[in-house]
Amino acid sequence: MEREKNNKTKYKSLNIRYMKHSFGSDNHSGVHPLIMEAIQKANNNFATAYGEDNYTKSVLEKLENLLGGDCTALLYSTEPEPT
């Protein structure tokens, strides 16, 4: 609280309006209402994980169709596997 007050004073002295919003990162604010709605919808039932769920299968099917249908889409993580 004190830091925020100091920032407001600093910006005021520089004749800069104190910003209440920031676009510096995707985690500075909440998600779009449609994203939250989709998360809530997906959270209603149980689903297997790690590629065996209906959501992953749907995404892979849509990717394959988008790429012409004569292919196999795969999801790949660039994170190293834990040792």
Question: Looking at the domain assignment, is residue 22 inside a domain?
Answer: no
Eight-class DSSP state of 60: H
User: Within 10 A of 63 (CB to CB), how many other CB atoms are there?
Assistant: 14
Phi, psi angles (nearest 5°) of residue 34: -70, -35
Q: What is the pLDDT of residue 75?
A: 86
What pTM value is reported for the model?
0.48
Q: Is the dihedral of CA 24, 40, 38, 75 positive or negative?
A: positive
In a domain, 61, yes or no: yes
Domain range enclosing 54: 48-77
Q: Is the pLDDT of residue 13 over 80?
A: no
- Find tokens 């040792």 and name the residue: 83
* Domain assignment of residue 39, yes or no: no
For the segment 34-77, what is each residue's pLDDT rounded down to a tens digit?
A: 999 988 988 887 888 778 888 889 999 999 999 999 999 998 87
Residues 17-31: what's their mean pLDDT? Answer: 68
Structural domain count of the chain: 1
Q: Is the confidence at residue 21, as pLDDT, over 80?
A: no
